[in-house]
Chains A and B, each alone.
Chain A
Amino acid sequence: MEPPCVSEPVGCAAEERELAALRAGDEAAFLALVTRHHGAMVRVAATFVRSQAVAEEVVQEAWLGVLRGLHLFEGRSSLKSWIFSILVNCAKARGLKESRSVPMSSLGPDDEEDAPSVSPDRFRGDEDRWAGHWSEPPEPWPDARAESSELVALVAEALETLPHAQRTVMSLRDVEGWEAGEVCALLGITEVNQRVLLHRARSKVRAFLEARMGREEAP
Chain B
Amino acid sequence: MTAAVPDLSCRELVELVTDYLEATLPVEERTRFELHLTYCDWCRTYLAQMRRVLERAGELTEESVAPEARDALLAIFRDWKKGSGGGA
Contacts and interface: CB of A to CB of B under 8 A. Distances in A.
Interface string B67-88: 0011011101110110010000
Contact of A209 (B11, B43, B49, B61): B49
Contacts of B42: 134, 137-138
A174 interface: yes
A34 interface: yes
A64 B49 contact: no
Interface size class of B (residues with CB under 8 A): 35 or more
Interface of A is mostly: helix
Contact of B14 (A34, A141, A203): A203
Interface size on A, as a range, is: 35 or more
A156 interface: yes
A219 interface: no
A174 B59 contact: no
B69 A141 contact: no
Interface string A54-92: 001001100110011000000000000000000000000
Interface string B40-61: 1111011011101110111111
B78 to A, nearest CB: 8
A133 B10 contact: yes
A24 B24 CA distance: 44
Interface of A: 1, 3, 25, 27, 30-31, 34-36, 38-40, 56, 59-60, 63-64, 67-68, 116-118, 120, 123, 131-134, 137-141, 146, 149, 151-152, 154-156, 159, 170, 174-175, 177, 180, 191, 195, 198-199, 202-203, 205-206, 209-210
21 contacts: A25-B77, A31-B70, A34-B70, A35-B64, A60-B69, A60-B73, A60-B76, A64-B80, A67-B84, A118-B11, A133-B11, A141-B52, A151-B56, A174-B57, A198-B18, A199-B17, A199-B19, A202-B17, A206-B53, A209-B49, A210-B49
